[in-house]
Amino acid sequence: MDSKFWPTSEDEKKRYLEHNNDVEDIRYQNFLNPIVDLVITNQKTTDKGLDYGAGPGPVVQYLLEKAGFKIKLYDPFFHNYTDNLNQTYDYIILTEVVEHFHSPKDEFFNLTKLLNETGSLYILTHPYDDSINFEKWYYKNDQTHTFFYTKESFVWIKNHFGFKNLEIQDRIVLFKK
């Protein structure tokens, strides 16, 4: 999205507060379970994790802690714990976050600095491809979605930021160092 159309910070926060991110909402838990299950499968409970862009209700943290994981939070609007950005992690989870980036290249650069040498990025988003009718695509209608990704853009991110592996499974994207 052209930067002149970006929402203000106040408008962004207002929009995010409209999301139903209640940790007790079983529908939202079910929506996030595929990425949470992937983390549970690939990571150890002793690994250090960060939920980056956790939103007002940190459902990912809630679900992972139920499974014995400890995970820290960062969200510029709701969990602005900048100390959590001064350490490295075994994994970082971004659920419905990357499409909100105003400067994806800078954001991915910063994210890779937060990962340890064998770290993983778990991303939940809706990649765009040519089979999607953009005019009818629901994902473009959120005014806070400023950037969309294709498979090719994820390959570029993998190569540009030195990830060894990239897996794309429907809406889940996994980068491994």
Q: Which of 17-26, 27-36, 50-59 has the lowest mean pLDDT?
A: 17-26
Rounded (10°) CA dihedral 73, 76, 82, 86: 70
Q: What is the pLDDT of residue 15?
A: 66
Q: What does the mean pLDDT of the chain come to?
A: 91
Between CA 22 and CA 19 the distance in angstroms is: 9
| Short-list 86, 92, 99, 83, CA closest to 144 | 99
User: Is residue 2 predicted with pLDDT exceeding 80?
Assistant: no
Q: What is the pLDDT of residues 119-132, one digit of tens each?
A: 999 999 999 999 99
Spell out a b/e string for 80-113, using b for 16 or more CB atoms within 10 Å of the CB, else e: eeeebeeeebbbbbbbbbbbbbeebeebbeebbe
Q: Give the residue with greater pLDDT, 6 vs 146.
A: 146
Q: What is the pLDDT of residue 11?
A: 67
pTM: 0.90
Q: Give the residue with greater pLDDT, 88 vs 18.
A: 88
Kindly report the backbone phi and psi dihedral angles of residue 71, in degrees, each rounded to the nearest multiple of 5, phi listed first: -145, 135
Between CA 170 and CA 177 the distance in angstroms is: 21
- 124 neighbors 94 (Cβ within 8 angstroms): yes
The stretch 16-37 carries a mean pLDDT of 82
Confidence of residue 17 (pLDDT cuts 50, 70, 90): low
User: Is residue 47 predicted with pLDDT exceeding 90?
Assistant: yes
